[in-house]
Amino acid sequence: MKLLFIAPRSVWRKALALETRLALDEGHTVRVVAEEHPGLALDPRVEVRWISAGELHTPEPRLQRLLLRRLPLGGLRRIGRGPLRRPAEKVARRWKRTVIDPRDKDRRRATEALRVARRIERISAAVAEYDADWIVLCEPQAVELAVDWLPAVLDAKPALTTTFSYEPRAPHAI
């Protein structure tokens, strides 16, 4: 059988490595779609497709960074070198809390939206490309992302097996 393991965040690295090795030892062909992580040690026989969603970041515009972050905080830092240290630190903390933190929060949300879109795109492409007999959704986020593409795949291929983890089966049960 051709198995496709989906691990969009590669959080459960030990379980993924163990289950793929077990599936390979039973004679299955295994492909993994996962986020690249230094601690992820998979069997060399496993074919891996990296999602690379962690590389995406929403950049902060240069003008905004200069006018709202660098100049005000640099000026307050310069003022804070003298006798006005405590009031300058207080103003800098308030500036960060009221101006910078909300913008950083918005950037983090935008970055996460980009990353989720990349995960869905890469996983959908891997599922369409690899004609799997069994899809293993290894992590809770894989189940959340499967809501977008799994119903169409199951309609197109009703014999497809989908599980949360790999369980060895008796030959007559397959």
pLDDT digits (tens, 9 = 90+) for 29-78: 999 999 888 778 888 999 999 998 889 999 999 999 999 999 999 999 99
**pTM for this structure?**
0.80
Q: For residue 1, what pLDDT is reported? A: 87
CA distance 35 to 46: 15
Please report which confidence band the pLDDT of residue 171 belongs to, taking 50, 70 and 90 as the band edges: low
Contact assessment for residue 34 and residue 40, using Cβ atoms and an 8 Å cutoff: yes
CA distance 82 to 22: 66
Structure tokens at 117: 């879109």
10 compared with 109, residue with greater pLDDT? 109
pLDDT tops 90 at residue 12: no
Name residue 32's beta-bridge partners: 5, 48
CA distance 53 to 115: 5
Q: For residue 94, what pLDDT is reported? A: 97
State the alpha helices, DSSP H only, in the chain. 13-25, 62-65, 71-79, 85-95, 101-129, 140-156
Please report which confidence band the pLDDT of residue 170 belongs to, taking 50, 70 and 90 as the band edges: low
CA distance 95 to 64: 14
Q: Pairing between strand 47-50 and 2-7? A: unpaired
- Chain-centre distance of CA 123, in angstroms? 11
pLDDT tops 70 at residue 79: yes
Give percent of the chain above pLDDT 90.
63
- What's the mean pLDDT in 84-107? 96
